[in-house]
A and B are shown apart, each in its own frame.
Chain A
């Protein structure tokens, strides 16, 4: 028997991925369908000397997560649509103060309480634009339990590398289904840790000064650097810099630029039979798996169809998408919402965008997509 294989649910994979990435603090608030991530964190973190904390609400959860990260912890929370909405203001704090952390949003049918146990892809734009102001964001969208494990690890690595909150978008179906995951040997994973400052621990320390890499090193409270940061637009000292239009503009450009200028390192996607496709399908998460089955069937019918699946949803891998979509002329966008990606696809490509939306708490089946292919082709 290969003992490295385990049967895990999507939620278990997220929790174990986080632990293997070095998570030492989890703060959360119970919400279906994300609760099992918290339960596993509560069970496993203390055994490794880490801490799980059940907060009074999601406002507190994300705040405590960012606070713990200030003190050096790799920290995470997990939630679903309603809780994710409550976290938005403080996510922007993490983005502006450039504090690494991970938020797992297990998407469920919305809006409002919606249907707590059923999957959806309704939070794609909330992940991108949920908080106020123009802000950077990294969001990853796994399509399998194994990918939930590895993308959670990648989320921590990207958070530490780019000093920013990173989102993982799972859904209610992925969260609760079980698949086989080949867990890597201990020590074989690439784990990224935040860059620490080496400058003198005195008044000359500027916590937001670029060291030439575009990302400032991050000190932890208590390690001898005395520093302060405000949620107000600040300069490299961490103090408000609201009087200068240049300083405001520079800060916003820096936040957006550190993601935009590092797309190559952040973007990830999957292409399936896309090289010679005459019809491209754009889909993420579990929907992309139905799309693959539909593509195989469509090709038996002589319809050259291919898939583009962003694994990094934000920043959207837009150049590669356009490269594939434009020559096809037609793109079928399959999503479990009312067209959140379809609108984006229309902006990014000259191809005719054909939306296939299903927003009823059920995963889109291969048959439905096959029908869409037949009509669109």
Chain B
């Protein structure tokens, strides 16, 4: 594994838009920034509401295995996803949680970011369903998948025009919320024992 290898996992339940996050970041990192990407999605047998996740591997070299083993970044939108996935985190990896939906964060976790993503989505757009776009904004700041502008461009390309405005509001709200979490000028995912919470 070289230094450019970066693994991400987005876990939640069906309907929270975890799959779309993978699609947007794949497009941003793969097509807009020219990196290699490999995206997988997995669902429970339910069409709606079951546990689901998408996993994204980003690398500057060809990717050999279509799975994430030691994610550098985990987003958990449910307590179950958090409980299942935080243990796999790579050393120095970052964990972003929906602060309301994941009431019991893992104890002693480094680089833990807690944002009330769904609540902020409701406040900014009036729709809880835009929480994934809020998470995307936060990931653009806190993660290393792709630059903020590439992510923004990928959102424009992937979402239908009629949904773009509301989703951009949520995306920008996520950017802001994450910026406030991060000390000014500090790079994302510093080795830190501090628990960031909004």
Contact = CB atoms under 8 A, between A and B. Distances in A.
- Verify whether A and B have any Cβ pair under 8 Å: yes
Interface of A: 1-2, 5-7, 173-174, 176-180, 286, 289-290, 292-293, 363, 365-366
A5, A7, A179, most chain B CB atoms within 10 A: A7
B135 interface: no
Interface stretch (B29-37, B119-127, B164-172, B175-183): B29-37
Q: What secondary structure prevails in chain B residues at the interface with A?
A: mixed
B180 to A, nearest CB: 31
B38 to A, nearest CB: 6
A340 B119 CA distance: 54
Nearest to B33: A1
Contacts of A176: 40-41
A93 to B, nearest CB: 36
Say whether chain A's binding surface is mostly helix, strand, loop, or mixed: mixed
A180 B33 CA distance: 12
Interface stretch (B63-71, B107-115, B187-195): B63-71
Contacts of B26: 7, 178, 180
A180 B30 contact: yes
Given A177-B39, A179-B37, A365 B23 contact: no
A366 B66 CA distance: 11
Given A7-B23, A7-B31, A178 B64 contact: no
Interface string B40-65: 11000000000000000000001111
A180 B58 CA distance: 11
A178 B23 CA distance: 9
Interface string B10-42: 000000000000110011001110101111110
Given A7-B23, A7-B37, A176-B40, A292 B64 contact: yes
Nearest to B38: A179
Contacts of B67: 363
A6 B64 contact: no
Given A6-B31, A178-B37, 5 more contacts: A2-B34, A5-B31, A7-B30, A179-B30, A289-B62
B36 A180 contact: yes
Contacts of A177: 38-40, 66
A146 to B, nearest CB: 11
Q: What are the 7 tightest A-B residue pairs by CB atom distance, in nearest-first order?
A: A178-B39, A293-B64, A180-B30, A289-B64, A5-B31, A177-B66, A7-B26
A293 B61 CA distance: 11
A132 B68 CA distance: 42
B51 to A, nearest CB: 14
- B: contact size bracket: 20 to 34
Given A1-B153, A178-B38, A366 B30 contact: no
Contacts of B27: 7
A290 B31 CA distance: 24
Contacts of B31: 1-2, 5-7, 180
Given A1-B31, A6-B31, A180 B64 contact: no
A109 B40 CA distance: 18
B194 to A, nearest CB: 34
Contact of B37 (A180, A289, A365, A366): A180
A173 B41 CA distance: 10
B32 A1 contact: yes
Contacts of B34: 2
Contacts of A179: 30, 36-39, 63
Q: Please indicate which of the listed interface residues A2, A178, A179, A286 has the most CB atoms of chain B within 10 Å of its own CB.
A: A178
B182 to A, nearest CB: 28
Contacts of B38: 177-179
Contact of A366 (B22, B62, B65): B65
Nearest to B40: A177
B44 to A, nearest CB: 11
Contacts of B36: 179-180
A150 to B, nearest CB: 16
B173 to A, nearest CB: 26
B65 A178 contact: no
A363 B153 CA distance: 34
A5 B30 contact: yes
A365 B30 CA distance: 23
B39 A365 contact: no
B30 A290 contact: no
Contacts of B66: 173-174, 177, 286, 363
